[in-house]
Amino acid sequence: MRVQINRTILQLVQGDITREEVDAIVNAANSTLLGGGGVDGAIHRAAGPQLLAETRTLGGCATGDAKISRGYRLKARHVIHAVGPVYNPRDPDVPVLLVSAYRRSLEVALANSVTSIAFPAISTGVYGYPVREAAPLALGAILDFCAQHEPITLVRYVLFDAPALAQHEKALRAVAAERRLIIVEG
């Protein structure tokens, strides 16, 4: 499923983000940037040990922020390490920090001449963010940013399993309708 806003195509796919052939893939990292499980572990395994050697030099990353590194053995030239919030339904900052993680990733992409980028569903794994709540925030943040910033031509949102893909497709229909954007199936 995909939608176009200005010159940007936002595409939802199911797959393994480490295989994406885009300028940059986004990592759902933690604030140490020293690796972990989930997509963080998968990206570090696929990129090889030089990735950790570089992320050790980045001085960590605040929640809601993002930092860039090289991609090493990955097909992607760069990895943008974004730190999402740990889900807490009683903390009003949590949705703000999730949106910020997406927006900062796109700002860092633009600052490094990245025009094609792949995102995982940040915070929806170990960090416990319900996909039903995270998906509209993530997709809305991406569409709103790309509505104002032309150079990004492709955002591929990579879901690891079919239920997550289905929930994001439902969210994209709603978010696109709010912005009077046309969904293209397939």
Q: Tokens 């794994």 identify what position?
A: 125
The verdict on 125 binding ligand APR (CB under 6 A) reads yes
Tell which positions 9-28 bind ligand APR, by CB under 6 A.
16-18, 28
Residue 182 tokens, joined: 């046309």
Site string for ligand APR, 146-165 (x = CB under 6 A): ------------x-x---x-
User: Which residue is closest to ligand APR by CB?
Assistant: 36
The number of residues that bind ligand APR (CB under 6 A) is 25
Catalytic residue, chosen from 23, 40, 65, 161, is 40
In this structure, are strands 24-29 and 154-159 parallel, antiparallel, or unpaired? unpaired
Q: Helix, strand, coil % (nearest 5) of the chain? A: 40, 20, 35
Q: How far apart are CA 6 and CA 8, in angstroms?
A: 6
Q: Could you tell me which residues come within 8 angstroms of residue 53 by beta carbon, excluding any fewer than 6 positions away?
A: none
The verdict on 39 binding ligand APR (CB under 6 A) reads yes
The verdict on 64 binding ligand APR (CB under 6 A) reads no
Instruction: Respond yes or no: is residue 40 known to be catalytic.
Output: yes
Catalytic residues: 40
